Structure 1
Amino acid sequence: MRLPTLLETIFLWLLCGLPLLVPAQMPSQQAYQPPPLSVEFLPQGGFYQDSLTVELLCPGAIIYYTTDGAQPNESNSRRYSRPFKITATTVVRAMSVLAGERSNVFSTTYFINEPPTSFPVVSLSITPSLLFDPLQGLFMRGTNAVDSLWHLPGANFWSRRELTANMEIFEANGQLVWRNLVGFRLFGGMSRLFPQKSMAIVARKRYGDSRIRYPIFGKNGLKKFKYLVLRNSGSDFGRTHFRDALMTDLVKKWDLDVQDYRPAHVYINGKYWGIYNLREKINRFYVAGHYPVDKDSIDLIEHRLTRRYGRTDHYRRLLDFMEKNSLADPANFAYVSSQMEVNNFMDLQIAQIYFDNQDAGGNIKFWRPQTPNGRWRWILYDTDWGFGLSDPRAYRNNSLAFHTEPNGPNWPNPPWSTFILRKLLENKDFERRFVNRFCDYLNDDLDSTAVLARIEKFYQRLLPEMPRHLERWRLKGAEWQNDVALLKTFAAERPAYLRRFLMQQFHTGGVRQLSLGIAKGGKVVLNEAIDFRDTFSGKYFEKIPIRLQAVPDLGYRFVRWEGSGVSSESPVLFLELVQPDWHIRAVFEKFEHPLAGKIVINEISCNNKQSGDWVELYNNSKERVNLEHWILADRKNEFRFPAYTLPPKGYVVVCEDSAKFLRSYPKVQSLINGLSFGLDKRQETIQLFSPETSSVDSVGYRLPPMDSVFTLNLLLPGLDNGDPGNWELTSGMGSPDAANAYYLASRIQVRRSLFMQIGGALGVLVLGLLLLWMRRKGYF
């Protein structure tokens, strides 16, 4: 057919909005590349009820294969000639050779008549002699073990050798979700002496992929991993098999870095190897996965001063300052708080004290970003020696005294391991916060009822799966049941003893019962660790004042406190609990702030390594608004605005560090420095309050794990912030101090639509005039 001429096309486009017709580009011609050699398995690996026949395919090629996990080659592997039968769980590994070219090794596992499970299944295949050769096998004692010493130094299983293995991960429904070659090492300390040994898995480019790209811990975990650990439950092997996982689960909501967990059945070369605890590995890749920091730009230290990455200078200077200065001085304490995350350290100590972890002084790791304002954070891990591992009556142990002992032995609590907590406790305000925070947790996550429920959850999850594991390692089911019962005894008895230890050490006075209620329209934050919306009941101490803060919901405001002789209209209330029982109620009322919906949280950046966290506000009103004494807050922290006037239709960005922020956004002018808290990159609630404690705006988000930089953008300033559908997750640096991309696009679209309507009307008018002229000229 005839294509329109250029003039005709332009005329049609002006009249009707038709697209310009342009010749399509011809695809580029590339030289033919034959596909690489491979081996096809028929049927594919997976779970089967009965024996089956396996066929290997690679047309024209010679195929070599093994069924014992060994890597196939041309010299000592079977040459494939016809389909073969498999009657038990087997790993098949194969390679092909064609015209002198050798393929990679391909591996798959056939699970035959294995019991159903609710756990994922991990299959490892590795040349058997590398693990089980009596002289050189990694799982063996070898010839160099010193038998006269109980920990067998020199044994093969103390080696740091990295072997190559094939790893397959199957979900509980039988679906293969990941397969590749990986690096394989033994992992752990004294737990290497157990027959079931822990293993570390590492993904490297030379094995095929630099990451294990599957969210093995579910939708709330990371999406990819450099390292994973298959853990034998450490010192808890042969006991509960979930002790460490339980303890990290109890504190996962705290200000602590903990490892994710998932139990899995593991097979090595087709042989069942028991239940392992899938865990994240603590290293710089772990830190970079959970925080917006570069793995190459952190300091990571373990034990006392063992450098794992980066430098130790900053930490040495901090210790030196603490050694030479009293932290009773608020200025000195403030300096220390600028160098380390005090709440994080406090939570670590409370957890270890509650657990009565006898090896807490030997398992210490902490890190900081290598930035001018980077502060040290501590990581909780390897807690197996807690919860009464070595003593069925450990719930009576005064581990508060243990963790503040100034003259302990070299192990388990040498003086250097208790130094920081002892120094922080020189400060009376820290002491008050420490005691109250301990009480908060004993009333909440560490309450006996709550802990017993967690133990029961772990127990029920493992109960149908444990018989195979116990049989594999010749363990007794009755002993497993007894060890779980000891956990429950610890949980039931521990809180009462800890309150007694707190009373003795800090002279707190007697225990007081506190009952709190809330009228509809807000929540109460108790001290620093607890917030609630309904009722609360807990135990605190007579001489340790508590802090209550009323936080109204959007559309409400705080009115007053009432009950137990308390009458106050201040949203923040400090109470000394003199009388034995306290009953207090927070009262809110409906109130629509005149600026609600006009001063809005418009953009949020919570994972930008270069700029730090920031929040953008937008004034959608026609008046100037003075933000002085306004409050921007998350669940536990608040930032008070300095004097600042936000113009109509204007933006302002609140950032952590203006110097750092401006290096990323040099053109931003409307900026408020000093945001005193960071934003969680996964889940957070941000609220904006006026000076009279009325809620003006509130935004909550829950995000999937993401590695790339992104911002959260409100689509249009007038939309409801509380509706997640009105927000957009945008990759890149965002648009601080400027309109969001969607808002700009919307305005452009409106203008484009208007112009098209005008153009259409003009086109109709021109066409009408043209037809009228042609009629008058007699063309028709």
Structure 2
Amino acid sequence: MHLRKIMLLLLLWLAFGSHATGQEFAPIEPEGPEKPELWVDFSIEGGFYNQDLRIELSSPGAQIYYTTDGNTPDPRVGSHKYTGPIDVSTTTPIRAIAVKDGRQTKPISHTYFIREPESNFPVVSIVIPPAVLFHPASGLFVKGHNIVDTIWKMPGANFWSKAEVPMNTEIFEADGTCVFRSGAGFRLFGGMSRLFPQKSITIVARDRYGQKRIDYPIFGKKGLKKYKFLVLRNSGSDFGKSHFRDGLMTSLVDDWDIDKQDYRPSQVYINGEYWGIYNIREKINRYFIAGHHDVDKDSIDLLEHRFNRKTGSRRHYQRLLDFLDRYNLDEPSNFTYVESQMEVDNFLKYQIAQIYFDNQDAGGNIRFWRPQTPEGRWRWILYDTDWGFGLHDEQAFKNNSLAFHTEPDGPRWPNPPWSTFLLRKLLENRSFEKAFVNRFCDYLNTSLSSRVVEQKIDEFQLRLEPEIPRHLDRWHLSLDRWYEQINQMRIFARQRPDHCRMHLMEKFDLGREREVRIDVSEGGKVILNHNLKLKGAGFEGKYFERVPIRLQAVPRLGYRFSHWEGIDVPPDAGEFTLSLTESAYHIRAVFEKYVHPLAGKVMINEISANNRESGDWIELYNYSDETVQMGDWIFTDRGHEFMLPDVTIPPRDYLILCEDSKDFVQVFPKAYRYIGDFDFGLNKRYERLGLFSPEGALVDSIIYEVPPIDTVFTMNLLLPNLDNADFENWELLRGIGTPNAANRYYVESTIQARRELWIEIGIAAGVILLCIMLLALRAMGKI
């Protein structure tokens, strides 16, 4: 009997139990990181609550010590030994350690925000011993005993310290989600802004404190995914004024290819006390450069000010300065050499930004870098622009900053000769001068136009307006002054472009202003001065009589350039230089659709956009009777392009384009014609796919939109003679698909068609046989 039970259980397991563990039916849940042997558990996570809380701490077999005032828990002194639940009725940080067998954990902190005002900003909690910040003799936030207070800079004050001290910090998203909780390093940050009561702070992630990175994209998808340093900035010299000046100015150059810090305002608490709005910024150092440029952080030259070394070497830059000092850059070969040593276009944009901003402290905040490679060139970093946009002068929009930035004999500060030397030398070259003027005009017509800048100011104001009163109350500042500052910035935005143009005319021999309007038909764009990309109708700008502009018509895939309207140029002049001899121009670029002769013959036939094992792939089918050469053809999805290598498709045959050819062939070992790898995945819900010839002619395109499907599936064209642009002619099939083979519906319909044909043949044969028999019987006289 016992043996029969065992056999029965074994049979049941074979029939049911073994299948329950299959990967196909039981998705594997990701395993979280294991907790260390010694740890402190909090019964309630730190976060935002509208009621009093009772917090329980636990650590099996260990003693727990905690504080609620920011001090570091210590079994010997100043800490509570945990004996029971902790009642929390106001915003409180609980900082705890566990002690067992002579070992203890690093401090861990949870901050409980009780009935705090709602905020749309992320919240940063800093938990640190109060004496570190406020001790009368040594506190980092106070003057201390060694200050020389007869000098406005207050030398000797504690807040000039460069010390790094341990703390605990938490970062919460605006929805209350905690995205970072760890020990970290605390440093003061900034220059003269340390004189303000709200001090800027650097958060430093190090392994010895807890985590070695802040592993969260704090600035969203466009920013980095992780950070070694984050700066909580008090808005620098703009403290007590707009509180977003630097963030505004750097946002105006978002698409200029200039290195700059990301910006995000936040609410900060120190030891549970509200500490105001801080602007989260990146820290400019080798980690910043490596993260944004995919270079080795240990192989970078980073200099500041004149040529002070931050990391790496200054030899390369000094050689460049020596060359500039010795040679005239109006000689083309000399200028070409300079272009090989520095990114001239990057420097040009950097200077235009500083000049437009009227940044009176630009000469004191210069940083530039290069990768330590033979071809590594210098790039400039835009930062700390607070002294721009009329920080201390309501009439600053009138300031001739171009003269300021090209002054050969300026004072020691703010524009000493060394700080203007590089721009003055480059302007010796006439081509650079024209590029500088046109580029300045480009931006005054677009990114720096009054309309665009005022819209930006409105965005920043609306973002801060609900949050700023509490911050101003915290630091005893004026809301009326805040609005006055924003209005002053709006006046600057309205007036500055015309004054900048006037300063250009005073500096250079430009002739009169010219009005230029450019419209662009559907199907392409116009690149103006190798810089602006214009689409649609309505670009209007001002340029100068003696500085020609450059226009280039660039068709979109599936279109080709047809002609220009409004100017007298040859029909095939896709790119040309226009001398502005007339007072006004209205130019239109016209594009037309461009369809390849093989459209409808080479087609997208099958799509797999949800197979992690094989990677994404599409199948092309050649419905024509000729072999098609597909070298340099272009496959696209939304925002990505993949150029095909030299490959052919025989008539009535298939070609697979795959995301990862190695993964693909592992899943489909019998696949015989495939190429890869396109370095982008396909969206499994919605996508726009295209296939184009090397000349940009449209061969095929489809748009698909499918409901959520949790399993592997493919999209299959029912029959190759159907219109694949109509998604009614497609079917969704569960499974891995049939690459390099006919689709299921086509196979089944072909079999069915053959079956029906044989039935028809059989019926016809039967009818014929019956007729023959009847004729025979009739001939025999039997019917």
Residues of 1 paired with 2:108 and 2:213: CA distance?
19
Residues of 2 paired with 1:375 and 1:269: CA distance?
45
Q: Which amino acid aligns with 1:137?
A: G
Question: Quick check: 1:592 aligned with 2:595?
Answer: yes
Residues 192-236 of structure 1 deviation map (CA, whole Å, 9 limit, x = unaligned): 010000011111111122110011111221110011000000000
Would the alpha carbon gap of residues 409 and 690 (structure 1) be closer, same or farther in structure 2, given more than 3 Å must change? farther
Residues of 1 paired with 2:631 and 2:178: CA distance?
58
Residues of 2 paired with 1:126 and 1:437: CA distance?
49
**Which residue does 2:732 correspond to in 1?**
none
Q: CA deviation at 1:80?
A: 2.0
Question: Quick check: 1:41 aligned with 2:13?
Answer: no
Question: Quick check: 1:271 aligned with 2:241?
Answer: no
Question: Quick check: 1:494 aligned with 2:496?
Answer: yes
**Which residue does 1:507 correspond to in 2?**
509
Q: CA deviation at 1:596?
A: 9.2
Would the alpha carbon gap of residues 690 and 514 (structure 1) be closer, same or farther in structure 2, given more than 3 Å must change? farther
Match 1:255 to one of 254, 257, 267: 257
Q: CA deviation at 1:105?
A: 1.8
Match 1:578 to one of 566, 581, 586: 581
Unaligned runs of 5+ in 2: 1-5, 8-18, 23-33, 604-619, 635-644, 650-689, 702-719, 726-735, 745-783
Residues of 1 paired with 2:197 and 2:48: CA distance?
27
Residues of 1 paired with 2:601 and 2:302: CA distance?
45
Would the alpha carbon gap of residues 96 and 152 (structure 1) be closer, same or farther in structure 2, given more than 3 Å must change? same
**Which residue does 1:280 correspond to in 2?**
282
Residues 213-260 of structure 1 deviation map (CA, whole Å, 9 limit, x = unaligned): 011111221110011000000000011000000000011110201111
Match 1:296 to one of 295, 298, 320: 298
Q: Which amino acid aligns with 1:230?
A: L
Residues 270-303 of structure 1 deviation map (CA, whole Å, 9 limit, x = unaligned): 1111000000000110011111211111111111
**Which residue does 2:64 correspond to in 1?**
63
Residues 341-389 of structure 1 deviation map (CA, whole Å, 9 limit, x = unaligned): 1111111000000000001111111111111111111110000000001
Q: Give SS of 2:316's match.
A: helix
Would the alpha carbon gap of residues 249 and 647 (structure 1) be closer, same or farther in structure 2, given more than 3 Å must change? same
Match 1:410 to one of 405, 412, 416: 412
Match 2:397 to one of 392, 395, 398: 395
Q: CA deviation at 1:83?
A: 2.1
Residues of 2 paired with 1:466 and 1:232: CA distance?
13
**Which residue does 1:560 correspond to in 2?**
563
Q: Is the 8 A contact 2:214 2:227 kept in 1?
A: yes
Would the alpha carbon gap of residues 52 and 376 (structure 1) be closer, same or farther in structure 2, given more than 3 Å must change? same
Identity among equivalent positions (%) equals: 58
Q: Give SS of 2:193's match.
A: helix
Residues of 2 paired with 1:747 and 1:336: CA distance?
56
Residues 329-348 of structure 1 deviation map (CA, whole Å, 9 limit, x = unaligned): 11111111111111111110
Residues 525-549 of structure 1 deviation map (CA, whole Å, 9 limit, x = unaligned): 1112211221211111111100110
Q: Which amino acid aligns with 1:293?
A: V
**Which residue does 1:642 correspond to in 2?**
none
Deviates further, 214-223 or 384-393: 214-223
Query: Structure 1-normalised TM-score?
Result: 0.74
Q: Give SS of 2:543's match.
A: strand
Q: Give SS of 2:494's match.
A: helix
- 5 Å-filtered alignment, 1:162-241, equals 162-241=164-243
Residues of 1 paired with 2:200 and 2:627: CA distance?
64
Question: Quick check: 1:546 aligned with 2:527?
Answer: no
- 5 Å-filtered alignment, 1:116-195, equals 116-195=118-197
Q: Is the 8 A contact 2:594 2:696 kept in 1?
A: no
Residues of 1 paired with 2:435 and 2:694: CA distance?
26
- 5 Å-filtered alignment, 1:449-460, equals 449-460=451-462
Higher relative contact order (CA 8 A, sep 6+): 1
Residues of 1 paired with 2:89 and 2:259: CA distance?
46
Residues 167-202 of structure 1 deviation map (CA, whole Å, 9 limit, x = unaligned): 100111111111011111000000001000001111
Deviates further, 472-481 or 533-542: 533-542
Q: Is the 8 A contact 1:552 1:695 kept in 2?
A: no
**Which residue does 2:675 correspond to in 1?**
none
**Which residue does 1:671 correspond to in 2?**
none
Deviates further, 282-291 or 531-540: 531-540
Deviates further, 424-433 or 449-458: 424-433
Residues 119-153 of structure 1 deviation map (CA, whole Å, 9 limit, x = unaligned): 00000001111111000111111111111211111
- 5 Å-filtered alignment, 1:324-343, equals 324-343=326-345
Deviates further, 585-594 or 320-329: 585-594
**Which residue does 2:683 correspond to in 1?**
none
Match 2:109 to one of 90, 107, 110: 107
Residues 16-49 of structure 1 deviation map (CA, whole Å, 9 limit, x = unaligned): xx9xx9xxxxxxxxxxx99622222233221111
Deviates further, 357-366 or 563-572: 563-572
Q: Which amino acid aligns with 1:231?
A: R
Residues of 2 paired with 1:568 and 1:393: CA distance?
49
Q: Is the 8 A contact 1:571 1:693 kept in 2?
A: no
Q: Which amino acid aligns with 1:275?
A: I
Q: CA deviation at 1:62?
A: 2.4
Q: Is the 8 A contact 1:524 1:551 kept in 2?
A: yes
Q: Which amino acid aligns with 1:329?
A: E
Q: How many residues align?
A: 633
Would the alpha carbon gap of residues 137 and 599 (structure 1) be closer, same or farther in structure 2, given more than 3 Å must change? farther
Would the alpha carbon gap of residues 77 and 626 (structure 1) be closer, same or farther in structure 2, given more than 3 Å must change? closer
Residues 570-628 of structure 1 deviation map (CA, whole Å, 9 limit, x = unaligned): 1002111111111111111222356999999xxxxxxxxxxxxxxxxx9x99678999x
**Which residue does 2:779 correspond to in 1?**
none
Q: Is the 8 A contact 1:181 1:207 kept in 2?
A: yes
Q: Which amino acid aligns with 2:266?
A: A
Q: CA deviation at 1:106?
A: 1.9
Q: Which amino acid aligns with 1:94?
A: A
Residues of 1 paired with 2:319 and 2:646: CA distance?
42
Q: Give SS of 1:164's match.
A: strand
Residues of 2 paired with 1:693 and 1:625: CA distance?
13
Q: Is the 8 A contact 2:107 2:183 kept in 1?
A: no
Q: Is the 8 A contact 2:108 2:182 kept in 1?
A: no
Q: CA deviation at 1:409?
A: 1.1
**Which residue does 2:484 correspond to in 1?**
482
Would the alpha carbon gap of residues 118 and 597 (structure 1) be closer, same or farther in structure 2, given more than 3 Å must change? farther
Q: CA deviation at 1:566?
A: 4.9
Q: Which amino acid aligns with 2:489?
A: L
Q: Is the 8 A contact 1:512 1:577 kept in 2?
A: yes
Q: Give SS of 1:500's match.
A: helix
CA RMSD, 1 decimal = 4.0
Query: Structure 2-normalised TM-score?
Result: 0.74
Q: Give SS of 2:148's match.
A: coil
Residues of 2 paired with 1:595 and 1:489: CA distance?
58
Residues of 2 paired with 1:595 and 1:354: CA distance?
52
Q: Is the 8 A contact 1:259 1:280 kept in 2?
A: yes
Q: Is the 8 A contact 1:258 1:379 kept in 2?
A: yes
Question: Quick check: 1:244 aligned with 2:228?
Answer: no
**Which residue does 2:766 correspond to in 1?**
none
Q: Give SS of 1:207's match.
A: coil
- 5 Å-filtered alignment, 1:298-447, equals 298-447=300-449
Q: Give SS of 1:548's match.
A: strand
Q: Is the 8 A contact 1:552 1:694 kept in 2?
A: no
Q: Is the 8 A contact 1:93 1:108 kept in 2?
A: yes
**Which residue does 1:604 correspond to in 2?**
none
